[in-house]
């Protein structure tokens, strides 16, 4: 059986590399053809990642299809388990709040809260340990070692605990020689690391980009994607290359999600207009998605990742947390909570578990929202949903609370149709788009609506 698997992997490699114009990823076996290529890995769905009609006028940017026929009708190689993220992944990650101050008690307590507080019911499932979980050196066999002080029971036991709660387990490493915090990176160890993660029961790997020198991002991530495939366990690959090499143009066959910018911080804006480095407000990152028109690259199983949530962290007001969450749902962003769930108040829990708002993010059509009005102090974003519905989000980008209005006829995407309007945060049906909206929106808050075709 094992021999058969190894043999299939080798065959797949040959096919994939041939299809790929013969560029071998360093050390790279294991790319997989699915859909029309006819060979799918366990857990794969056929053609799930194929690009689905982007909004009119976006042209032919992005992918012509993968997991299906490519531009010239040839099957495209896929370096990931297809079908694991048909809607944006949801979960929690240690980094934004805890950085290196992590241990197994924190992870277990947090997982328990997710399972019992309504978060799991709302869709959160991945519990992800970010950087700083390892010892500073690999062991004598070259294996990564979980820090015995922080994780005395070991990663397998922790994964079992998390799985026992009906949740999934995620871990972090880096494509370079060292992680961003200086722990052993994955470079040159991709296959053995992937096998180790699989043996622990890992379901999700975030793979960072520090200390990679002049490495080619596409080839490097292909190698790791292939290693995960070869390890034989369905694992989501979260690529964290900060948008440096335009991952949206090549990452869809490799990763289920890819970071688009530098690191998010607990603030509205850094007031520099930039999104590199470590200090970006969620509004800076939001602007960047619009500038790059990133909506054309996202879809089921391949998502832009504007970084993890800062909802409920210290640097944001309640309104800023609420608007941040609204916009991340408009973006069809992965929803990885980054706050301390043990001390979260009810208002924050209510934001994070709002099923009507999460439904925008998790809509099966998988369209990323985009900005249609950008004025001084006010902007409006729209997101197409299934069944002809639309989500509309209006931001008060000023320092003052304001009475704001929205003329539905300004939104061209609605054409001349009439829609019923629901105010999602107020939990109120407002009538139809025949009447313009006006209402108070607090500074840095957003009004969020779901529009459904009126009979």
What residue ranges bind ligand GLA (CB under 6 A)?
95, 130-131, 179-181, 208, 240, 263
**Cα(325)–Cα(333) distance, integer angstroms:** 10
Please report how close the Cβ of residue 230 comes to ligand GLA at its closest, in angstroms: 25
**Cα(153)–Cα(76) distance, integer angstroms:** 42
Exactly one of 208, 354, 389, 397 is catalytic; which is it?
208
**Cα(408)–Cα(399) distance, integer angstroms:** 25
Identify which of residues 35 and 173 has a Cβ nearer to ligand GLA in the complex.
Answer: 173
346 an active-site residue? no
- Sequence-separated (6 or more) residues with CB below 8 Å from residue 11: none
Identify which of residues 188 and 277 has a Cβ nearer to ligand GLA in the complex.
Answer: 277
**Cα(371)–Cα(383) distance, integer angstroms:** 9
3-state class of 259 per DSSP?
Answer: strand
**Cα(317)–Cα(443) distance, integer angstroms:** 10
Please report how close the Cβ of residue 235 comes to ligand GLA at its closest, in angstroms: 17
Identify which of residues 130 and 379 has a Cβ nearer to ligand GLA in the complex.
Answer: 130
Q: How far is CA 352 from the centre of its chain?
A: 16
Please report how close the Cβ of residue 417 comes to ligand GLA at its closest, in angstroms: 41
Residue 297, φ and ψ in degrees, nearest 5: -105, -10
Q: How large is the greatest C-alpha to C-alpha distance in the chain, in angstroms? A: 71
Identify which of residues 181 and 290 has a Cβ nearer to ligand GLA in the complex.
Answer: 181
Identify which of residues 198 and 308 has a Cβ nearer to ligand GLA in the complex.
Answer: 308
Please report how close the Cβ of residue 25 comes to ligand GLA at its closest, in angstroms: 23
Write down the H helix ranges in 165-216: 190-200
Exactly one of 193, 263, 354, 389 is catalytic; which is it?
263
Please report how close the Cβ of residue 181 comes to ligand GLA at its closest, in angstroms: 4
**Cα(278)–Cα(428) distance, integer angstroms:** 38
121 an active-site residue? no
**Cα(91)–Cα(308) distance, integer angstroms:** 10
- CB atoms closer than 10 angstroms to residue 430: 14
Residues with active-site annotation: 208, 263
């Amino acid at each position: 059986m094992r021999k058969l698997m190894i043999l299939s992997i080798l065959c797949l490699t040959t096919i994939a590399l041939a299809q790929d114009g013969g560029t071998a990823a360093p050390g790279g076996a294991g790319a997989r053809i699915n859909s029309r290529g006819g060979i799918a890995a366990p857990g794969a769905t056929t053609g799930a990642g194929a690009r689905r009609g982007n909004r009119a006028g976006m042209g032919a940017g992005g992918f012509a299809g993968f997991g299906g026929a490519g531009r010239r009708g040839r099957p495209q190689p896929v370096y990931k388990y297809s079908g694991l993220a048909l809607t944006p992944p949801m979960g929690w990650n240690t980094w934004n709040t805890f950085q290196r101050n992590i241990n197994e008690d924190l992870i277990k307590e947090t997982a328990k809260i997710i399972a019992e507080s309504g978060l799991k019911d709302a869709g959160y499932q991945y519990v992800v340990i970010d950087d700083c979980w390892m010892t500073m050196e690999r062991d004598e066999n070259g294996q990564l070692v979980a820090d015995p002080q922080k994780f005395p029971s070991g990663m397998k036991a922790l994964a079992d605990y998390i799985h026992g709660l009906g949740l999934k387990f995620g871990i972090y490493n880096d494509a370079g020689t060292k992680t961003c915090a200086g722990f052993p990176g994955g470079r040159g160890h991709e296959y053995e690391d992937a096998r180790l993660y699989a043996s622990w029961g890992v379901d999700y790997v975030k793979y960072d980009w520090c200390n990679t020198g002049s490495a080619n991002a596409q080839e490097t991530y292909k190698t790791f994607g292939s290693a995960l495939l070869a390890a034989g366990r369905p694992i989501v690959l979260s690529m964290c290359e900060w948008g440096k090499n335009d991952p949206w143009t090549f990452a869809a066959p490799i990763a289920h999600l890819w970071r688009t910018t530098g690191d998010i911080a607990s603030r509205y804006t850094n007031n520099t207009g930039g999104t590199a480095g470590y200090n970006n407000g969620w509004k800076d990152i939001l602007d960047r998605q619009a500038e790059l028109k990133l909506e054309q690259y996202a879809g089921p199983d391949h998502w832009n990742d504007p970084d993890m949530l800062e909802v409920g962290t210290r640097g944001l007001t309640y309104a800023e947390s609420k608007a941040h969450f609204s916009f991340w749902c408009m973006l069809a962003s992965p929803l990885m909570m980054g706050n301390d769930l043990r001390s979260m108040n009810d208002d924050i829990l209510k934001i994070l578990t709002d099923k009507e708002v999460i439904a925008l993010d998790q809509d099966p059509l998988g369209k990323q929202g985009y900005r249609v009005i950008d004025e001084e102090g006010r902007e409006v974003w729209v997101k197409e949903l299934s069944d002809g519905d639309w989500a509309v989000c209006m931001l008060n980008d000023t320092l003052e609370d304001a009475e704001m209005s929205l003329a539905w006829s300004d939104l061209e995407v609605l054409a001349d149709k009439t829609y019923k309007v629901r105010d999602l945060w107020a939990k109120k049906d407002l009538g139809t788009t025949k009447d313009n909206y006006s209402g108070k929106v607090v500074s840095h808050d957003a009004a969020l609506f779901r529009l459904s075709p009126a009979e």
